Chains A and B, each alone.
Chain A
């Protein structure tokens, strides 16, 4: 027996060489950059992954990938985008975490392949994808010139078919890749201080000569209040990741199964409803307090709270079962629906229908908010997008008329057969428009009191809930406090066959053209 020649390494030596490479990759962009982030209270990509997945469950795919360019090989650990699989509260999921310390997590040929593979696996296996975004955009100089531009070869790169839920966090500068994937996701949470835009303020200023405030270009206020691209805003990375975990807890892992059922739930304080609902139809109220008295305690998870505020969209639970709640909020614009609220409603229908979540409409609306501002934003298109989406929905739709329900918007909220069942509260009032307006539109301004009275009589019709129930356009007239019990019963009645899985006719609806 003689020692092996030195040219043939032992398995132990090979393993040691592997461990060294792994350690260099795990060191990311270096101690100095990581320390700078820590000083700012911002998590790094691997800390974010650790927060997202159950302890010990993360399996990385492509730790030893690096730049295709010889010159960048040593300084591109994992090529700046960390991909892999893990478990979130026991359920499997996939993740792409941008490592900003590695060339700004810029998009490259190799990390593009990592993302493509992960998306294919997630769609085939039925895994939600979590996008932890912080990236500068396309990598330079890799992408320069006609040859590089011509090398893109993934026509499905930006195709969204909603096979599985996508949730994105905007956790720093998000341009290019991380902005695109956030815009394509079903849920987006943004940390205050982060920026979401097509290009950086620096490049934008170079291109247009415009000096820009980054917050104005893509800050949280813009996206929470004006664009509606962001569903929730938080102050810390940890809160953003926790929001994603909570969002996913309402959704199935993929479109082919029903949502998970929460094992523990508590009924709300039903008496609170009477305290928060004024019976005077002129008085407004905070609908969130009314909803809290109907759905499982602490189960409301609101999306886009500061966008199109005349509507509240929230995931919630009834006896542990996920439902999507689309509710009027009379506190904002008297519940009159503007262009932003239309887009918000459509996006919410798409989300719930794609992932088998039954819908509950809670209605108190005086009509669409008419006026120049709405028309400038293409109101007819937005109203009809909502109608079209609603007519394609295949999950159960239960409509609850709380108080006012007027005009065309009545159809958008499930009237005219667009809901599986309609419940009308004793406080409800249903009609097309006020008799005063109708008389003036047909006859012009009133001339004398007698004529005015006659004209009003001609237009006046019953707006009573019993009139609606009398022709069987509503199936139930109920005391508001009986809503929870009846919704629970009706969800059983209308549960879809095939385990509650719908047909997903909205699965390829654009993610932000609402």
Chain B
């Protein structure tokens, strides 16, 4: 199963916390956005492997924009 991580806010990619191929546990940080002068972490909703990152550090993103894809172990 592939889960698409969408941006919860309009903002800027502040930091990438994981690289493609990384194994993630539930709630592990994938990246951090900056919006409303806050650092907003985007975390893994379930365990899996970070399959793709669709954004780079410093990139502006809109709410709902695809940020990354996570493939779960059993899928």
List chain B residues, Cβ under 8 A from A334.
Answer: 9, 35-38, 40
Determine whether the beta carbon of A333 is less than 8 Å from that of B41. Answer: no
Interface residue B39 (Cβ < 8 Å from any Cβ of A)? yes
Determine whether the beta carbon of B8 is less than 8 Å from that of A284. Answer: no
A-B contacts besides A282-B39, A333-B35, A334-B9, 14 pairs, CB < 8 Å: A284-B39, A284-B40, A330-B38, A333-B8, A333-B9, A333-B36, A335-B38, A336-B9, A336-B35, A336-B36, A367-B36, A369-B9, A369-B36, A434-B37
A280 nearest CB neighbor, chain B only = B39
Interface residues of A in 371-385 (CB under 8 A from B): 371, 373
Interface size class of B (residues with CB under 8 A): 10 to 19
Determine whether the beta carbon of A366 is less than 8 Å from that of B37. Answer: yes
A371 nearest CB neighbor, chain B only = B10
Q: Which residues of B contact A (CB under 8 A)?
A: 8-10, 35-41, 63
List chain A residues, Cβ under 8 A from B40.
Answer: 284, 331, 333-334
Interface residue A270 (Cβ < 8 Å from any Cβ of B)? no
Determine whether the beta carbon of A284 is less than 8 Å from that of B36. Answer: no
Task: State the majority secondary structure of interface residues on B.
Answer: loop
Q: Quote the shortest CB–CB distance from A284 to chain B (angstroms).
A: 6
B32 nearest CB neighbor, chain A only = A284
Determine whether the beta carbon of B36 is less than 8 Å from that of A366. Answer: yes
List chain B residues, Cβ under 8 A from A369.
Answer: 9, 36
Contacts known (A333-B8, A333-B9, A334-B9); A373 close to B38, Cβ less than 8 A: no
Query: Lowest 10 CB-CB distances: which A-B pairs, in order?
Result: A334-B38, A334-B36, A366-B36, A336-B36, A333-B9, A282-B39, A334-B40, A334-B35, A284-B40, A284-B38
List chain B residues, Cβ under 8 A from A331.
Answer: 40-41
Determine whether the beta carbon of B37 is less than 8 Å from that of A282. Answer: yes
List chain B residues, Cβ under 8 A from A373.
Answer: 63
How far apart are the CA atoms of A261 and B49 in the complex, in Å? Answer: 48
Interface residue A283 (Cβ < 8 Å from any Cβ of B)? yes
List chain A residues, Cβ under 8 A from B63.
Answer: 371, 373
List chain B residues, Cβ under 8 A from A284.
Answer: 38-41
Q: Quote the shortest CB–CB distance from A405 to chain B (angstroms).
A: 13
Q: Quote the shortest CB–CB distance from B29 to chain A (angstroms).
A: 11
Q: Quote the shortest CB–CB distance from A224 to chain B (angstroms).
A: 15
List chain A residues, Cβ under 8 A from B41.
Answer: 284, 331
A and B contact pairs by CB, cutoff 8 A, 13 listed: A282-B39, A284-B39, A284-B41, A330-B38, A331-B40, A331-B41, A334-B38, A334-B40, A335-B38, A336-B9, A366-B38, A369-B9, A369-B36
